[in-house]
Amino acid sequence: MYVHVPFCARRCAYCDFSIAVRRDVPVDEYVQALARELDVRFGEAISWPVDTLYLGGGTPSRLGGEGVARLIDTLRSRLELVSNAEVTLEANPEDLTDDAARRWRASGVNRISLGAQSFDDRVLAWMHRSHDAAAIGRAVDTARSAGFDNLSLDLIFSLPESLERSWERDVDQALGLAPEHLSLYGLTIEPHTPLGRWSARGDVTESPDERYESEFMHANRTLVAAGFEHYEVSNFARPALRARHNSAYWQQVPYAGLGPSAHEFDGVRRRWNTAPYADWARRLDQGRDPVGGSEVLSPDDRTAESVYLGLRTSAGLPLRPAELEHVSRWTGAGWGEVDATHQLRLSPAGWLRLDALAADLTLIRSR
């Protein structure tokens, strides 16, 4: 299950997610609306077992210790978290107080995804982040003291060259905090964001492809040498500590979605909630389903998704005999390898070409 918590202290320069900027977070209003969504959408249905719960956003840690505990209690009234469930909370460093971290751990959260993004204060200010670099280390220490032994750090690479950010230093700083997991995302410029407006005015120039490739490959070499598994195009984990929730997405496992803009997939149909927080809450107050849209995946859609999702993980994709010759030029270029069972696994160089390769193979497979 995915639960979207939209609240943020401010909008980051690159963010185009569904968020609600609030000085004072309306915890009561939000939790009550979430309880109504459970009632409206699932009626008197009995509880169901959930293997992974992911609280994303937005900034779920803005709910505080008590707010997260109340949210999880509300969910537990309708679902059963299995004994070894992975419960992830996305958090910003400044929200990790001793009290909040202890409450999160006591409520069942056992994994924190920390939005570090960079260890350069100039870069953090440019991104409109609400923390400084020193807060990241303090947050990790606080989480460890509260008993968290599964921490993930987010970093953003391929920033504009004008920032003169040292990606190598950021990777080293992240490793120095000994996280169990790292998620690395290349910066994208979306039009309806502060960064998009800066770009349109010519104030910011997007990083060239060569920089993107160089930084991606540096992270791969450095983290793999440090003992991490590069198990998905953007994700690295210590052995046996891959993100189970996100891995379920890539395996097309059905999942539920609650909260504004949350998506849901039952194996055939995908639905999503209305994105604005106020509209989501208003509909639920009126006893209405906050659905924003839905689609039934066609056979072609399912083919495209299975190819794309398979190629983006280290598990790879099983090839059909007729496809072996077609991908031989990929393996010859060093973009991947095919084993004796005809399983195709892309290399890091292949992942840099993921969109094009997936589209190419989808076209062949759809004929």
What's the pLDDT tens digit per position in 167-188?
Answer: 999 999 999 999 999 999 999 9
Residue 294 placed within a domain = no
| Strand pairing category for 229-232 and 291-296 | unpaired
110 part of a folded domain: yes
Asked whether the beta carbons of 177 and 136 are under 8 A apart, the reply is yes
Q: Which domain holds residue 338?
A: 299-366
- Is position 257 within any domain? no
pLDDT digits (tens, 9 = 90+) for 312-359: 999 999 999 999 999 999 999 999 999 999 999 999 999 999 999 999
Report the pLDDT value the prediction gives residue 321, as an integer from 0 to 100: 93
Element containing residue 30 per DSSP (H, E)? helix 27-42
To the nearest whole percent, how much of the chain has pLDDT over 70?
100
Q: How many domains would you assign to the chain?
A: 2
**In a shared domain, residues 121 and 245:** yes
Domain contains 68: yes
Examine the pLDDT at 267 and tell me if it is beyond 80: yes
Determine which of 84-98, 194-208, 330-344 has the lowest per-residue pLDDT on average: 194-208
Same domain, residue pair 76 and 207: yes
- E strand or H helix at 48: strand 48-57
In a domain, 34, yes or no: yes
My answer on whether 67 and 210 are in the same domain is yes
As a whole number of angstroms, the distance between CA 327 and CA 270 comes to 31
Position 291 in a domain: no
- CATH number of the domain enclosing 165: 3.20.20.70
Q: Is the pLDDT of residue 366 over 90?
A: no
Q: Specify whether 16 is located in the same domain as 113.
A: yes
12: Cβ–Cβ under 8 A, 6 or more apart, which residues? 127, 128, 129
260: in domain:
no
